[in-house]
Chains A and B, each alone.
Chain A
Amino acid sequence: MEIEDLIIANFAIAILASFLIYSATNPLPSGIPVLETLAIGGLCAYLFSNPNIL
């Protein structure tokens, strides 16, 4: 593994771990319509653009 890959891997670990900590300390407030729209909309958009995934 090259140094550049190690740097990216370490940053990815830090960001993923921070997301985990965030979700552990701040559960997603389901009442926020913007977040719901983004999450469901994003999922739908992904499924429509990859119809063979299912």
Chain B
Amino acid sequence: MSNKAETSQSGIDWEHGAQCAKNICDPQELERSIDWKQGLAIALGVPLLILPSIGYLTSYVWSFAIVIWGATVLLGFLQNFAFGELATVFPKASGLPGYTQTVFGSDKDKNNRGKFKFGKFIGGFSAWSYWFGWSPVLAIYAILISSYVQGMVPALAGINSTLMALVVGVFIFGSLAIINSKGLKNGAAAGMILAVISLIPLLVITIAPFFTGDFQMSNITSSWFPTDWSWDWEHILILLGLLAMAEWSAAAWETAAIYGPEYKKPNSDIPKALLVCGAICLVLYVLVQTSVIGALGVDGVLAEPISPMLPLANMALGPIGASISIVMLIGAMLLIIQTAFLSSARSIYSMSVEGNLPSVLSKLNKHGHPMNAMIADAGFNMCLILLGTPTAILAASAIGYICANGISLYTYVKVRNDPELSRLERPFKAPRGWKSVALATTILNTPFFLIGIIYLNSLELGWATTGVGFFMLCLFIPLWIYSQRENRNRMPAASAVHREHGIFEPELVPVEE
């Protein structure tokens, strides 16, 4: 009996089954399973990235921190209009790392003709920098959660803090990996729950001082800058560094685009998710910093630089407010971990698909989820937890994020300049003249922000931090060389055809109303 006849009688597709047994039917692409609201729910961790930096910015520029947050979110709008357009030109690409690798890594590019594929290296390096900008968030917040839990539960106070952080890390990374293993839909549901738990209390605590009378406008207007502030080159470098640090938080809502290959209607879902997330960030970043300084004053913030939301909650809501705010902070940190975990795992997946990292990392599970990339990411962060002191890694990771942002904006300029790429369909277009805006913002990122963040790191943590940052970025080189050899050894022609078709041929996406 033929297989087809068997199929018709038993309802089982034996031919497909036989192919599956040979691993031919493994999912090759991420599943399109979310809409813009679900993408937004995952990206909603970004507004909470302000929490660890409230005191940090205030310590350098006092009330002017409000202006820095507002300016950085607006800078994010300038950048993310360009990324929104790229998202609709390349609906299969995973956010910033996807665009750079797609555009610079094309085999048609003349920079990729020799043995050393220069364009491909730049694309891969940008994606690696992006991953290094996001990934350490997991370890840093796992350590913070563990210290909060040890502070809350006296019975746990005696346990070694590194061991405790490792246990917390295993529990959180494991739980999130299991939740997300069945597809991004589950991740979005988890993100929504965490967003409600953390964002609503954050909003209540932020708005309450305006109604209780604790907010004093004079706390802001009387202390715009520190008394010894001057506009010399050292302070301008500090300001550039602060803007770079703020960009790591306040412009990170580009992460809504990283789920590009998983949106049901990428052409409309990605711009919507991006812009709504940006609007929420604009309101929250400015409002939170204004409320904290207005209610506590600069001295009050500097007295509690790590968690100024705690005294604010105490002041506005009484002692019960402090308990609420701790639960809120832990929820917020979980949400940030979830956002960062998904972003960094997709960066790894995207690099592997493009042949910039070993191919084992691009394997998807049966639900079309990049589990190998997630496991590798979790493993890397467990190693970071072992370091115990993540501050240097955090500052170093900001260097990676600035590099990724700069190169990604150059990608937009290249796409608009290139005669072939500029003809591709653009369902969402940034306003006229945006190429010049993107060029200006990219020069702002590299070299200006990069110089600023290096200088700020040297002031705050010494030059070792910069060394760690550059070491991590340079680690890409041996991995990339290994991956290139791996690519050459396995069906080079087939992989090239796969990549070219994936990039430049229009993808069949669902028809939008």
Contact = CB atoms under 8 A, between A and B. Distances in A.
A and B are partners in one complex rather than unrelated chains: yes
Interface of A: 2-4, 6-7, 10-11, 13-14, 17-18, 21-22, 25-26
B238 to A, nearest CB: 12
Contact of A17 (B413, B414, B443, B447): B447
Q: Please tell me the size bucket of the interface on B.
A: 20 to 34
Nearest to B447: A14
A40 to B, nearest CB: 22
B454 A21 contact: yes
Contact of B454 (A6, A13, A14): A14
B458 A22 contact: yes
B406 A4 contact: no
Given A3-B410, A7-B407, A10-B447, A21 B455 contact: yes
A33 to B, nearest CB: 20
Contacts of A25: 458
B73 interface: no
Nearest to A17: B451
Contacts of B417: 3
Nearest to A22: B463
Contacts of A26: 463
Chain A residues touching B, majority SS? helix
Closest 3 A/B residue pairs (Cβ): A14-B447, A14-B450, A10-B446
B104 interface: yes
A10 B443 contact: yes
B111 A21 contact: no
A10 B407 CA distance: 10
B458 A21 contact: yes
Contacts of A14: 446-447, 450-451, 454
Contacts of B60: none
Nearest to B451: A17
B237 interface: yes
A11 B463 CA distance: 18
Contacts of A13: 447
A36 B403 CA distance: 32
A2 B119 CA distance: 11
B455 A7 contact: no
A2 B111 CA distance: 10
23 contacts: A2-B111, A3-B413, A3-B414, A4-B104, A4-B111, A7-B446, A10-B406, A10-B442, A10-B443, A11-B403, A11-B450, A14-B446, A14-B450, A14-B451, A14-B454, A17-B447, A18-B454, A18-B455, A21-B451, A21-B455, A21-B458, A22-B458, A26-B463
Interface in B447-485: 447, 450-451, 454-455, 458, 463, 466
Contacts of B442: 10
B118 interface: yes
B122 interface: yes
A18 B119 contact: no
B236 to A, nearest CB: 12
